[in-house]
Structure 1
Amino acid sequence: MITETRHLTISGIEVEVVRKDIKNLHLGVYPPLGRVRVAAPLVLGDEAVRLAVIDKLGWIKRQRARFVQQPRQSQREMVSGESHWFLGRRYRLRVCEQAGQPRVAVRDLAALELLVRPGSDAAQREAILVRWYREQLKALVPPLLDQWQSALGVQVADWGIKRMKTRWGSCNPATRRVWFNLELAKKPVQCLEYIVAHELTHLLERHHDARFTALLDRLMPQWPHYRDLLNSLPLAHEEWRD
């Protein structure tokens, strides 16, 4: 696909304009700082893009304000008493130094136990926790994929988990490969299911247009609630660092 990227300043806002071989203009505002991006047809001129952005200026400003107000965690020091999230619940970290294989365990409804070797530093402790988050997400995703592949009548070729700064998930319809943000392990499972459904719907409709919304509305009527919940929860410090 032919693409052309440039930047315009419109009403004091820097806008990334990506021209593609598409039929309709699509405007998005992305975390963490409210980056504005327009995907526009190749034949659409700068003035038409400018007018489209100005028409949505109020909505853009509201979206950017929401991102600014969203709570963010401070840098995690990986010490006992610190708050960490798992499946939408906040836990107090309990660091225990001992010989043996490092691991993580949920001990009760309030404590996340991190077993580490004596003398481990913050980076080593974080790596253990991140590995555990990845393992949990790898166990949670397959049954949701099965459910939504059946509901939508689609099939992914491959899927994976990685850290992403500006997306909860991504889908390449051409290769049928789907990625999920590692941070979803910290969010309620309903939010994870929403992202699974969202990305698989892209296998039927590439763009966030009326057909895409209609598909989600029919199969997951409560999806706007899960989207808003996902975007209201604290963001990880490391995920949004520039």
Structure 2
Amino acid sequence: MSTPTRYTITLSDRTVVTYELQRKAVKNINLRIPGDGKLYVSAPPAVPRSRIEDFLHREEAFISRTLATLQKAPVLTLQTGETYYVQGRPYILRVIHGPAEAMWLQGNTLCLETESDTDWETRRRLYHAFLLQLSQPLLTASLTRCYARVKAYGIPVPRVTIRFMQTRWGSCTPARQTIRLNAYLAIMPDACIDQVVLHELCHFLEANHSARFYAWLSRFMPDWKSQKKALESYRPYCI
């Protein structure tokens, strides 16, 4: 895997965008645009940059639509009155000045108590601790549901690790029988979580994102495309 390199490309509407290119052992050119609004491209070592930029031009509609959506997304600062999501349900945040240093749900309110209520890093740390704690049972339950769908195909029960990731919802290492899942998934409804888990389980059947891979995914979750689209709408809350 090479060190990422940054390049710029001018779209047909004369918008100049920067993308970060990483050469790695993948079969296809892949594009990700996470909540930070940056373009991340991965491509096989032998693919020339001209071909990569041809791919980006073909994806202009997706790029423009995604960037426009992110520009309209709420800018969240973990302040009282902002709306946050847990398992796809909205909660109004209430910041409380106090010694607890904790975050919890109370009715329709997401409470955050800290003595450093104006300190962004402290509030963000508490938000992450809250989501990480929630994610453990949610992702375990999702794996149980999803594994029941694929068990008959000889897929091993993977070992799951959970962490915060900025550019992907999950990743898989079939040789180690390991799946890594994003703790931010605790924000999403169960169907969105299942889409990510099934995606990673399908990599035990097909290592790359080939047509056969998506055929497997469609077999296990026919509506995976709509669930993936719904999942992307929660990116602004991944702070």
Shorter chain as denominator, the TM-score bin is 0.7 to 0.9
Q: Secondary structure at the match of 1:152?
A: helix
Of 124-133 and 141-150, more deviation after overlay is shown by 124-133
User: Contact 1:158–1:178 at 8 Å: present in 2 too?
Assistant: yes
Q: Distance in 2 between matches of 1:168 and 1:187?
A: 11
Distance 2:82 2:25 in 1: 49
TM-score by length of 2: 0.77
Work out which of the residue numbers 50, 53, 58 in structure 1 matches 2:56. 53
State the Cα deviation string for residues 51-110 of structure 1 (Å, max 9, x = none).
3333333443333333333x2342113x4x4433211112234566778x76655333x2
**Cα pair 1:158 1:176 within 8 Å, conserved:** yes
Q: State the alpha-carbon separation in 2 of the partners of residues 129 and 5 from structure 1.
A: 30
Question: What RMSD, in angstroms, separates the aligned Cα atoms of the two structures?
Answer: 3.1
2:77 aligned residue (68, 75, 87): 75
**In structure 2, the residue corresponding to 1:174 is in which secondary structure?**
helix
What's the TM-score, normalizing by structure 1?
A: 0.76
Counting only pairs closer than 5 Å after superposition, residues 87-106 of structure 1 correspond to structure 2 as 87-94=87-94, 104-106=103-105
Match of 1:14 among 2, 11, 18: 18
State the alpha-carbon separation in 1 of the partners of residues 103 and 28 from structure 2. 46
Contact 2:83 2:92 in 1 (8 A): yes
* Contact map agreement 2:70 2:236 (CA 8 A) in 1: no
Q: What secondary structure, in the 3-state scheme, does the structure 2 residue paired with 1:76 have?
A: coil
Distance 1:155 1:49 in 2: 35
Structure 1 vs Structure 2: percent identity of aligned residues? 26
CA gap 1:97/1:161 in 2 versus in 1, 3 angstroms? same
Equivalences, count: 227
Secondary structure, aligned partner of 1:235: helix
Q: 1:107 — aligned with what?
A: 106
Aligned amino acid, residue 51 of structure 1: D
Distance 1:159 1:45 in 2: 36
Say which of 29, 33, 36 aligns to 2:32. Answer: 29
Say which structure is richer in helix.
2
Q: Does 1:121 align with 2:119?
A: no
Q: Sort the Cα spacing of 1:21 and 1:188 in 2 relative to 1 into closer, same or farther, 3 A.
A: closer
Q: Deviations over 1:90-148 (max 9, x none)?
A: 2234566778x76655333x22345x5xx722355654453332222111111221232
**Contact conserved, 2:104 with 2:130, CA < 8 A, in 1?**
no
Change (3 A) 1:14 1:171: same
If you compute each CA radius of gyration, which structure gives the higher value, 1 or 2?
A: 1
| Compared CA separation, residues 9 and 221, structure 1 to 2 (3 A) | same
Gapped regions of structure 2 (runs ≥ 5): 11-15
